[in-house]
Amino acid sequence: MRIGDLILRDRVHRSVYTDPAIFKIEMEKIFSRAWIYLGHESQIKQTCGYFTTHLGDASVIVVRQAQGDIRVLYNRCAHKGMQLVADDSQGAAKAFRCGYHGWIFDLDGSVKTMPAEAGYDGTAVCKSNPLNSLKPVAGVAVYRGFIFATAATDAPYFHTWLGPLKSSLDNFVDRAPDGEVEVAGGVLRYEHQCNWKFFLENTLDALHPMVVHKSAIRPAEILNAKRQEAGAEIPFELQMILPFGASYAFFDDMGQRGAPFGHGDLGDQMSIHSGYDGQPDYWEAMVKAYGAERAKQILSISRNNSVLYPSIMFKAPVSLIRVIKPIAIDRTILETWHFRLKGAPDSLFARTIQYSTIVNSSAGMVGPDDHEAYRRLQAGLGSDGGDWVWLARYLNQETADQEGARTTRGTSDFVYRNQFAAWRGYMEAA
Ligand code: FES
Ligand SMILES: [Fe+2]
């Protein structure tokens, strides 16, 4: 089947989730060509700080130079190719020394030392040959602290790629009274037995919470009724869980947006986070920083989940992001990173951790339901029980917004149709 035959206007073929040959092309054409989220500047605050992560299937080192700028280098020794730095590591270094034959590289990637160098006299193995340096990735963009990279020399200009989602990412940072955010706390890192696309779809799926998460919603509703009756206050834990059980009409009214390159937001108008109790000390800090009108405007944007396709979902109202790292057609690592808003009271960060613990963690009441759904989706689509996955809900009912995105009702399948339009564009590109 040709790529174009897999994506129809109202459905996609199951092989996009199950065929290892498709996955191989995705790594080459999507994860090597799109702008991929690598991490946040605050992970390498110190001079010469570094961390390792992946750009597609390549391990890379993200490293702050002595002058302060950030470089991204392939994590591959120029001698015989050994990975220089361990996966998922971080620290500060004066240089990188290969653990095999001891070549030493400067933080900018240039080779400093080749042990027993004289033996290479008269060959191409010399310090002046760029082949003996660590290779930099083709493009790096840092926007408001978020670090993205691409392996493509012909990638679109970063801001063209970001497009209308700029306002969503800005809102994540603008919520900090000091206008900056920083990674804090640990990372939740789980491997799931499923295709990477399920998470990006699920995170914008407003048609599943009332069904998949019923086992969390129902006890919360019972407890809430008891507390209301007793005139007791409603703790944040309940405020978090209860909106998952909202009606279809509520989720439709939230709205959604789809933008070029497959990006999208759920909760264009409001979200499941809109009804949380305000925090007076945070509000005061915001008013002091921005003035009441601007502070109100910032906090009135409450987009539930925003996706920068294909590698990051961010959740501005509770200051956390999810990062997608595909490993195989049916294996994906999903990470949750938490952010502290500079200038905000500690109680706000406590909410972020509380949200992540209750919703995202393996011990939580919500995330494990989704994980089970992904596993069963992979199992169902791997069978011969049918070839197509429907994306037909509210077909062709979108309207353009002022930022160049298209909006429609929250439970529409438009955001997925939009993701697959981008998927097709990447996969069919020369
Ligand atoms: S492979 Fe790195 S020094 Fe030989
Ligand atoms: Fe869910």
Q: Which residues pair with 116 in a beta bridge?
A: none
Work out the average pLDDT over 304-311: 97
Distance, in Å, from the CA atom of 293 to the CA atom of 161, rounded to the nearest integer, reads 30
Does ligand 1 come within 6 angstroms of the Cβ of 82? yes
> Which-ligand-closest: CA of 206?
2
Distance, in Å, from the CA atom of 377 to the CA atom of 380, rounded to the nearest integer, reads 5
Distance 199 CA to ligand 2 centre (A): 9
pLDDT surpasses 80 at 1: no
Work out the average pLDDT over 212-239: 95
Half-sphere exposure of 347 (CA within 13 A, CB side): 9
- ∠ at Cα 303 (300, 309), nearest 5°? 150
CA end-to-end distance (rounded Å), the chain: 18
pLDDT surpasses 80 at 258: yes
pLDDT, residue 198, reads: 98
Contact 151/56 with Cβ under 8 angstroms? yes
Residue 430: which pLDDT band, with cuts at 50, 70 and 90? confident
Work out the average pLDDT over 94-101: 97
In this structure, the dihedral spanned by the alpha carbons of residues 119, 122, 124 and 126, taken in order and rounded to 10 degrees, is: 60
> What are phi and psi for residue 257, nearest 5 degrees?
-130, 145
Contact 117/79 with Cβ under 8 angstroms? no
pLDDT surpasses 80 at 41: yes
In this structure, the dihedral spanned by the alpha carbons of residues 187, 65, 146 and 91, taken in order and rounded to 10 degrees, is: 0
- Strands, E assignment, 172-224: 181-192
Closest CA to 318 of 295, 333, 334, 339: 339
Question: What residues does the ion ligand 2 have nearby, CB within 5 Å?
Answer: 370
Residues of the chain above pLDDT 90, percent: 96
Contact 304/244 with Cβ under 8 angstroms? no
Distance, in Å, from the CA atom of 413 to the CA atom of 31, rounded to the nearest integer, reads 23
Does ligand 1 come within 6 angstroms of the Cβ of 80? yes
> Which-ligand-closest: CA of 204?
2
Q: For ligand 1, what atom is nearest to the CA of residue 101?
A: 3
Closest CA to 325 of 338, 313, 337, 311: 311
pLDDT surpasses 90 at 303: yes
Average pLDDT, whole number, for the chain? Answer: 96
Which uninterrupted H or E stretch holds 407? strand 406-408
pLDDT surpasses 80 at 244: yes
Residue 369: C-alpha distances to residues 151, 309, 354, 362 (Å) = 35, 23, 18, 10
Q: Which long-range contacts (CB under 8 A, 24 or more apart) does 358-364 make?
A: 358/237, 358/240, 358/241, 359/240, 360/188, 360/320, 360/322, 360/336, 361/188, 361/336, 362/188, 362/190
Q: For ligand 1, what atom is nearest to the CA of residue 114?
A: 3
Query: Do the strands 146-150 and 36-40 form a parallel or antiparallel pair, or are they unpaired?
Result: antiparallel
Q: Whose CA is nearest to atom 1 of ligand 1?
A: 80
Contact 429/33 with Cβ under 8 angstroms? yes
Residue of 61, 76, 79, 134 with the most ligand 1 atoms within 8 Å of its CB, for mutation? 79
The tens digit of pLDDT for each residue in 44-67 reads: 999 899 999 999 999 999 999 999
pLDDT surpasses 90 at 268: no
Q: For ligand 1, what atom is nearest to the CA of residue 102?
A: 3
Which uninterrupted H or E stretch holds 146? strand 146-150
pLDDT, residue 65, reads: 95
Q: Whose CA is nearest to atom 3 of ligand 1?
A: 101
pLDDT surpasses 90 at 278: no
The tens digit of pLDDT for each residue in 103-119 reads: 999 999 999 999 999 99
Contact 365/240 with Cβ under 8 angstroms? no
Residues of the chain above pLDDT 70, percent: 100
Residue 407: which pLDDT band, with cuts at 50, 70 and 90? very high
Residue 269: which pLDDT band, with cuts at 50, 70 and 90? confident
- Overall pTM surpassing 0.85 (yes/no): yes
Q: Which residues pair with 322 in a beta bridge?
A: 313, 336
The tens digit of pLDDT for each residue in 151-207 reads: 999 999 999 999 999 999 999 999 999 999 999 999 999 999 999 999 999 999 999
